[in-house]
Chain A
Amino acid sequence: MSLFPYLVAAWLFCIGLYGVVTSRNFIHLVMCLAVVQSSTYVLLLTIGYRIGGMPPVFAGVPVGTPAVDPVVQALMLTDIVVEATVVALLLSLAVQVHKGTGTLNPDHLRELQG
């Protein structure tokens, strides 16, 4: 297995975190979080990938045919569902912040300092 997909995953993770740290808008920040999350998809799929493997549907296929790992795909689907909830929640919180304060910039929201 080539190293390339792992590098992509690491890159997505880091660039997403960079976006979260420097973001000046909560909507943008939540999207950066989604970028971090997509790195976990790449990582999971890479781990389960077999070169030359077929989709993990085993009806009418001779035993021993190489297939990609269905477990990590299930993990990834679960991950998508769970994180969709969290992202929806975060966006609704961002909407509430905007309603209350008129800004989405974390730099302007310092009431919780100290």
Chain B
Amino acid sequence: MSLSSIVAHITALPVATPLGTAAVLAALNKFLPRRMADTLAILATLVTLFTETLLLYSVRSQPFVYWYGGWAPRSGAALGICFVIDPLSCALAMLISVLVLVAFVFSLRYFDSIGTMFHVLVLGFLAAMSGFAFTGDLFNLFVFFELMSASAFALCGYKNEETTAQQGALNFAITNTIGAFLVLCGIAMLYSRTGALNMAQIGRALGQQSDATVITAFVFLLVGFYVKAAIFPFHFWLADAHAVAPTPVCILLSGIMVQLGVYAVARVYWAIMAGPFAAHRGALMSLLLVIGTITSLLGAIMCFGQRHLKRLLAFSTISHTGLLVIGFALLDPHALSGVALYVAGHGLVKASLFIGAGILLHRYGSVDELELRGRAQRHHFSGIVFLLGALGLAGVPPNLTFLGEHAIDHAATLVHQDWIPVIFAFSGAITSAAVLRVYGRVYLGWGDRESLRTGKQIPEERETAGPHHRIPAVMILPAFLMVIAALGLTLTPKLRRAAETGAFTMADTAAYQSRVLDGAHLPNTFAPPGQTALTPTLISTSCAIVFGLLLAAWSLSPLWPKQDVIVRPFKLVMGGLRSLHSGHVGDYVAFLTLGAAAIGIVLGLLIRRFGM
């Protein structure tokens, strides 16, 4: 047996291992001591991570398709369900496993009452996300989407004793369930048109033809997945969910689950819709660029207005996911490689920032910026996480986010969208300023207690047990390892090249279809060689961090306007934005409905304008 044929049979492990372990843990819930559950869960995650590393190694030159039960397609018709293993899906699955591992390690010191159900849910979450990354079947994608959602809803409302936790989880669950229905409607429409559920088969059956049904189906899928990705105007649930979720869950929600929504749209686009939208690229690009830009700016502004640390980081995630949509909107493999790098960099940095917030909650029993003012002055060590995290959010080299931004900037100049670096710089500046402000206030004791009357105080109870006078290594160590990884990975030679290969392979629709449907053994698609100047991105990220520092310093200085002197228009805007985020699920669903309708109408109009 050759290496590749052995590897093929371990393809099921990234889903089977966590699911199996979750079942065992759930069955033995009553008898298993806590430490045993911890060990089993971490072992299962390590096995998953190891399998995915092997898979990535085996597809370094050529992707492969694994058909469950050997149900390979006959004459181009797929009856079985397949996993498509290509470099990008493997890398994404590895990032998922790494973050789950970090969440488990962090939760070693987690409050004792959690029992083993926490592990069961996180393992279910891991299985769903891995399957979501690998699957080549549209309905299978939906099932993993729902499994992912159900585990996430339960995890989000895990802190049963807090009433806000259930509200946040309800808002999250209701909006995302409606998103799932939209996805299902989209799938049903595509099935009615093509009689297929396999993405490659749908793509081949559609070819270049696009009509109202196909475009409507894509809008349904887009909206459904972007509800999960928290893109404006579907983003409202995210801040509520993050504000109430336990810290390890925040790591997973913000670090990777939200980005999987962007990934799903990208996967569907390149496997199915690249043909039908070949004539409407301009329309789709304009629409997505606008949505991404609004999301990014809105997230950044709301981020700066928060005093609840987890909510602040949640809005920063919204802002950065908006940037990812901008990157995808260019519909270019170069930009896609940038998006992939950005997802990795952002995931690592954001996860460590959430751990930083979790450490403050553990040590001082609060995540309220004003309440924490100056209280961590003797613990500068953990503050370094916030400093390095802020640099990562701004995209300062050598962060992975810088590499990603550079690839996206480069693709943007090719299609004459030269304003895109400005949006990256703006969002990077504001979100890093917010994190730097937190660092200044909490770790240096700068600023006063009154200047930030904005934002609402949400009570948050300690989640951790044990002595609170010191910070456990299992919390601080993963955070440091991740920020250092976000810096160090950039220096890995050929990382940029590997990301480009992954992106070009994913974006090669014809090769994807013949790999899946004809069983063709096609090598990875390589990007044309070429060097691009780093200077423009260097300028934009330097601007971002300089403005971020200045803004943070200004907001902590006595010069920062007090609430009653804030200029009226600004106050109106902020007040308006705040009242939009009402915490009322009916409002969120109303926005979701209006947003979905608006996106459909605008896309229709744009397509008409750009010509059918």
Contact = CB atoms under 8 A, between A and B. Distances in A.
Interface string A60-92: 000000000001100100110011011001100
Interface string A5-26: 0000000010001001111001
B553 interface: no
Contacts of B593: 17, 21
A61 B584 CA distance: 55
Contacts of B154: 89
Contacts of B147: 82
A112 B240 CA distance: 6
Interface centre among A17, A94, A101 (most CB of B within 10 A): A17
B584 A106 contact: yes
Interface stretch (B168-176, B258-266, B330-338, B386-394): B168-176
B456 A29 contact: no
B164 interface: yes
Contacts of B149: 86
A36 to B, nearest CB: 6
Contact of A20 (B150, B178, B192, B579): B178
Contacts of B184: 40, 44, 79
B191 interface: yes
A23 B157 CA distance: 21
Q: What's the dominant secondary structure at chain A's contact region?
A: helix
Given A37-B181, A97-B170, A113-B578, A82 B143 contact: yes
B188 interface: yes
B178 A111 contact: no
Given A17-B589, A22-B586, A114 B178 contact: no
Interface in B117-167: 139, 143, 146-147, 149-150, 153-154, 157, 160-164, 166-167
A22 to B, nearest CB: 6
A34 to B, nearest CB: 10
Contact of A86 (B153, B162, B244, B458): B153
Given A86-B146, A109-B167, 15 more contacts: A29-B174, A36-B178, A36-B181, A39-B181, A40-B181, A43-B185, A47-B188, A71-B197, A75-B139, A86-B173, A93-B157, A96-B157, A111-B583, A112-B167, A112-B244
19 contacts: A17-B589, A29-B174, A29-B586, A47-B191, A47-B192, A71-B191, A75-B187, A78-B139, A82-B146, A89-B153, A93-B157, A93-B170, A97-B166, A97-B170, A109-B167, A109-B583, A110-B582, A112-B458, A113-B578
Interface of B: 139, 143, 146-147, 149-150, 153-154, 157, 160-164, 166-171, 173-174, 177-178, 181, 184-185, 187-188, 191-192, 197, 239-240, 243-244, 455-456, 458, 578-579, 581-587, 589-590, 593
Interface of A: 13, 17, 20-23, 26, 29-30, 33, 36-37, 39-40, 43-44, 47, 71-72, 75, 78-79, 82-83, 85-86, 89-90, 93-94, 96-97, 100-101, 106-107, 109-114
